Structure 1
C-alpha cells in the first residue's frame, strides 16, 4: 500500500490501519493540525483517489468547498490512496491547550452584543481568524472567535445574545468581572494566510466581525501590503459596532478599504443599504487571484461562497468557519 500526497507528489509506504495524520507527521509532510482529536478541524484534507475510514465528528464548521474532505487525525488508511493537503506552505501547528482565564472587562458593544475580555494565566498560541471553546461553567460551553492577536496581553471575544439562549443568557445575566473561564483551543481553518500577496476579501456578518478584526490586525501588524477589502453586514444601524476602529485602521493603512452594509432601517444615506453579498457582487466583478475570509451565519457564508466562486476565486481559497446560532 502507498499514500500519494498532492500537490507535493510525495509517495510513502503505509500499512492497513495506519492513522493518516500520524503517517504525514512521521514522513515530515507539512499539514496543519492542533487538537489531534477531531475537534478543531485544522487537519482537514481532501481524498482524491481511494478511500479512508473516518471516525468522530467535525467541529461545528461549514466547509464551503466540494469534494470528499476528511480530518487526518480521525482517518484510518485501509488501501492505497491519493490525498491533497491544503497549502503546505501555510501550515499552522499551534498546540491545543486548555488554559484558565479571568474575566477582566465586559461591555455592551450593541444592544445585543457583549464584548468580553479575558486575561489568560498562560499564553494561548493561535493564528488570526481562529476560535476557541469557552467554558463558563460545566453546563455553559460555546465556541467564540478571538478578535485579538496571540501577541496581545488579553483575549477578546464578541458574543451576540440569543433570545432565551442558555449560554448567552448566562453571559448576559450572571457573568461578571473576576469570574474564571476555561479556554480550549485554538480551532478553525479560516486563519490568515500570511504568504499570500494578492488581494484579500473579508466578509463579516454580525459578530463575524470578531475573527475579521483578528485577521486585519494580524495582516497589518505583519506589514502585509495586500489590498484588503472588508464588507461588514448588519441588520440595522443599531447593530453596527467597532465602526470607529475600522475607520481608524483604514485611515492609517492605505491598502485597507472598509464598507458597512445595512439591510434595513437606513435613513438619509448614512450607510449603504442592502445585503452584504449584493454589495460585494456590485463592487467586485472579477476576483481571480483573490483570497476570501467569510465569517458569520451559515446562510450568509453559503451565499457568499457561491458568489465568490462565480467571480473567479478558487474553492480552496475561500476560508470559512460558520457557526450555527442554536438556542445557546
Structure 2
C-alpha cells in the first residue's frame, strides 16, 4: 500500500494497520502532535482520498466525502490514501505533560469572571492560544485556555461562572490560595502561526479573550509586524474586562487595533454596540490572505467562521477552539 502525503508531494509504502501519525513521523513528515490519545486535536489533518479507520471512541471507517478531517494519532491505515497536512511552518510539537501546580492568585475580573493564576515547579511548554485540562479534585475537571505565554513563570486562566456549573461553582466558592491543581496539556489547534506575515483577525467572545490575549501577547513579545485587529464581544459594559491589558498591548504594539463591542445599547457607552460578528462584517469586505483566530461560545464561533469564509479566508486559515459551557 502507498501513502501519498500532500502538499509535500511525497509518497512511501506502508502496511495496512499502521498508525498514520507514526507513519508520518517515521518518514520525516512534519506534523503537529501532543497527547497522542485523540483528545487535543493537534494532529488533525485532512483525508483527501482513500479510507482510514478512526479508533477514537467508537471505531469508524472514514473516507473523504468532500474532505474529511481526522486525527492522525487515532487513524489506522486501511488502503492507499492521500493526506493533506498543515504547512511545515505551522507545525508544533509540545509533548503532553501532567504538572502539579498550586493556586497563587484568584482575582475578580467581572461579576462572574475570575482570573486564576497557578504556579508549577516545572514549566509547561505550549504555543500561544492553546489550552490545558485543569483538575481541581477528581470530580472537578474542565479545560481552560492559557492567557499568558510559555515564558511566563506562572499559568493564567480566565474562568466564567456557569449558572449551576459544578466545576465553576467549585472555583468560585471553594478553591483557595495554596490549593493543588493538576494541569494536563497543552491541547488545541488555534495557536499562533508565527511565520505568517499578513494581517490577523482575532475575534473573542467573553472569556474567549484569554487565548486571544495569549496570541496577541506572544505576537507582541516576538515583535511580529502583522496588522492585528482584535474584536472583543460581550453582552454589556459590565462584562468587559482586560481593558487595561488591551490598552497596554496597543501602546507597545502599534500594529494592534482593539475593537470592544457590547450587545446592549447603554446610555453614554464608549463601546461599539451590536453583535461582534456584525462589527467585523461591517468593517471588512475582503479578508483574503488574512489568518483568523476565533475563540468563544460555539454560536459566535460558527457565525464568525461563516463571515471569515465569505470575506475570503480559506478554511485552513481559520483557527478555532469553541468554548462549551457545561454544568458538569
Residue number in structure 2 paired with 1:189 = 189
CA distance in 2, matches of 1:125, 1:26: 23
Residue number in structure 2 paired with 1:285 = 285
Q: Cα distance, 1:266 vs. partner?
A: 2.2
Given the alignment of the two structures, is residue 222 of structure 1 paired with residue 222 of structure 2, yes or no? yes
Deviation string 1:289-319 (CA, Å, 9 cap, x unpaired) is: 0000000000000000001100000110000
CA distance in 1, matches of 2:102, 2:275: 38
**Equivalences for 1:104-115 in 2 at 5 Å?**
104-115=104-115
Aligned to 2:210, what secondary structure does the other structure show?
helix
Q: Cα distance, 1:33 vs. partner?
A: 0.2
Task: Name which of structure 1's ranges 257-266 and 123-132 shifts more when overlaid on structure 2.
Answer: 257-266
> Does the Cα contact within 8 Å between 1:18 and 1:77 map onto a contact in 2?
yes
CA distance in 1, matches of 2:252, 2:89: 30
CA distance in 1, matches of 2:185, 2:57: 17
Q: Cα distance, 1:253 vs. partner?
A: 1.5
Residue number in structure 1 paired with 2:309 = 309
CA distance in 2, matches of 1:195, 1:19: 29
Deviation string 1:191-212 (CA, Å, 9 cap, x unpaired) is: 0000000000000000000000
> Does the Cα contact within 8 Å between 1:286 and 1:311 map onto a contact in 2?
yes
Residue number in structure 1 paired with 2:97 = 97
Deviation string 1:81-135 (CA, Å, 9 cap, x unpaired) is: 0000012221000010000000000011000001000001211000000000000
Q: TM-score, normalised by structure 1?
A: 0.96
Residue number in structure 2 paired with 1:61 = none
Q: Cα distance, 1:54 vs. partner?
A: 0.4
Q: TM-score, normalised by structure 2?
A: 0.96
Residue number in structure 2 paired with 1:87 = 87
Given the alignment of the two structures, is residue 55 of structure 1 paired with residue 55 of structure 2, yes or no? yes
**Equivalences for 1:21-60 in 2 at 5 Å?**
21-57=21-57
Residue number in structure 2 paired with 1:166 = 166
Residue number in structure 2 paired with 1:63 = none
**Runs (4+) off by over 6 Å:** none
Distance 1:213 1:110, change over 3 A: same
Distance 1:206 1:57, change over 3 A: farther
CA distance in 1, matches of 2:269, 2:96: 46
CA distance in 2, matches of 1:196, 1:218: 13
Deviation string 1:223-258 (CA, Å, 9 cap, x unpaired) is: 100000000000000000001110121122110000
CA distance in 2, matches of 1:76, 1:267: 59
Residue number in structure 2 paired with 1:200 = 200
CA distance in 2, matches of 1:239, 1:43: 35
Q: Which has the higher contact order (CA 8 A, sep 6+)?
A: 1
**Equivalences for 1:223-302 in 2 at 5 Å?**
223-302=223-302
> Does the Cα contact within 8 Å between 1:39 and 1:57 map onto a contact in 2?
no
> Does the Cα contact within 8 Å between 2:233 and 2:262 map onto a contact in 1?
yes
Residue number in structure 1 paired with 2:128 = 128
CA distance in 1, matches of 2:264, 2:122: 43
Gaps of 5+ in 1: 59-65
> Does the Cα contact within 8 Å between 1:237 and 1:265 map onto a contact in 2?
no
CA distance in 2, matches of 1:226, 1:176: 40
Aligned to 1:126, what secondary structure does the other structure show?
coil
CA distance in 1, matches of 2:102, 2:129: 22
Residue number in structure 2 paired with 1:118 = 118
Gaps of 5+ in 2: 59-65
Aligned to 1:18, what secondary structure does the other structure show?
coil
Residue number in structure 2 paired with 1:62 = none
CA distance in 1, matches of 2:57, 2:322: 16
CA distance in 2, matches of 1:267, 1:188: 39
